[in-house]
């Protein structure tokens, strides 16, 4: 009873038939695999197969609290695929989905540190959480991502200027404190992204 109250799923005693032991053990293993898969699906974006907005919110909260304790800067990148709606409308949704998958893979491949975290924020927007990273480091990474997306040379004849898919980025860096919140960091990065769009797209701006 105590074990069940602590979360046990089954109970087997020593004098049971070994065949029963094996069958019940396999059943528990299948249950564990199913719950693990459901947990993963709840955290992963189905299209790009990188973490989703819900997982981003969770990770950002954790890293914010860690940054308060360490007193190290925490940076956030907000990235947006330029002129994505005309791309999606012109080439079709299947091409649009493939474009987003390539962008997601490139963002992840550009980040070198295991602590850095990328997620799909929604639509054609992505975010990167960069612990222990100052503004200069965050700007450098954002520009590397921008160049690597440009280097994919995905044709985009419906873009106003560049004829390939490009990316705009907003960067925000905070020294976390109890007087601030991660929501403010997101708003700052979003504001910087807006300025990047106003500056002509395919560039990086800092808050």
The DSSP secondary structure of 1-70, one letter per residue, reads -HHHHTT------TTS-HHHHHHHHHHHHHHHHHHHHHHHHHHB-TTT-SB-HHHHHHHHHHHHHHHHHH
Tell me whether residue 55 is one of the annotated catalytic residues.
no
Q: What residues have CB less than 8 Å from 149, skipping those under 6 apart?
A: 103, 106, 107, 165, 166, 167
Segment among 6-20, 67-81, 107-121, 184-198 with least mean pLDDT = 6-20
Question: Which pLDDT does position 39 carry in this prediction?
Answer: 59
Can you tell me which residue has the tokens 């963002």?
A: 107
Q: What is the pLDDT of residue 64?
A: 96
Per annotation, catalytic residue among 55, 98, 124, 157: 124
If pLDDT is split at 50, 70 and 90, which confidence band does 30 have?
confident
Q: Which tokens hold the place of 22?
A: 């094996």
Confidence class for position 74, pLDDT limits 50, 70, 90: very high
Q: Dihedral sign for Cα 148, 153, 159, 162, please.
A: positive
- At residue 34 the predicted structure's pLDDT band, cuts being 50, 70 and 90, is low
Nearest by Cα to 56 from 109, 116, 113, 129: 129
- Return the pLDDT at 6: 81
SS3 assignment, position 72: coil
Average pLDDT along the chain:
91
The pLDDT confidence band at residue 37, using thresholds 50, 70 and 90, is: low
Percent of the chain with pLDDT over 70: 93
Q: Evaluate if residue 26 carries a pLDDT over 90.
A: no
- Better-predicted residue by pLDDT, 27 or 121: 121
> What CA–CA distance (Å, rounded) separates 89 from 84?
8
Confidence of residue 86 (pLDDT cuts 50, 70, 90): very high
pLDDT digits (tens, 9 = 90+) for 96-155: 999 999 999 999 999 989 999 999 999 999 999 999 999 999 999 999 999 999 999 999
The answer, yes or no, to whether residue 53 has pLDDT greater than 80, is yes
pTM greater than 0.95: no
What average pLDDT does this structure show over 83-100?
Answer: 96
Q: Does residue 41 carry a pLDDT above 60?
A: no
pLDDT of residue 79 exceeding 80, the answer is: yes
């Amino acid at each position: 009873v105590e074990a069940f109250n602590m979360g046990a799923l089954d109970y087997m005693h020593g004098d049971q038939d070994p065949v029963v032991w094996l069958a019940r053990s396999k059943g528990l293993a299948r249950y564990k695999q199913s719950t693990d898969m459901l947990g993963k699906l709840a955290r992963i974006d189905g299209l790009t197969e990188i973490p989703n907005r819900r997982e981003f919110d969770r990770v950002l909260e954790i890293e914010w609290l860690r940054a308060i304790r360490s007193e190290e800067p925490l940076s956030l990148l907000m990235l947006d695929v330029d002129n994505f709606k005309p791309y999606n409308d012109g080439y079709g949704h299947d091409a649009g989905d493939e474009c987003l998958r390539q962008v997601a893979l490139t963002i992840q491949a550009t980040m070198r540190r295991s602590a850095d975290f990328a997620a799909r924020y929604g639509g054609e927007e992505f975010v990167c959480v960069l612990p222990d990273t100052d503004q200069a480091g965050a700007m450098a990474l954002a520009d590397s991502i921008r160049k690597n997306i440009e280097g994919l040379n995905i044709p985009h004849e419906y873009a106003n200027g560049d004829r390939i898919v490009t990316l705009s980025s907003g960067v925000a860096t905070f020294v976390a404190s109890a007087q601030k919140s991660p929501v403010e960091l997101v708003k700052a990065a979003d504001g910087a992204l807006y300025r990047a769009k106003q500056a002509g797209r395919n560039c990086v701006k800092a808050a």
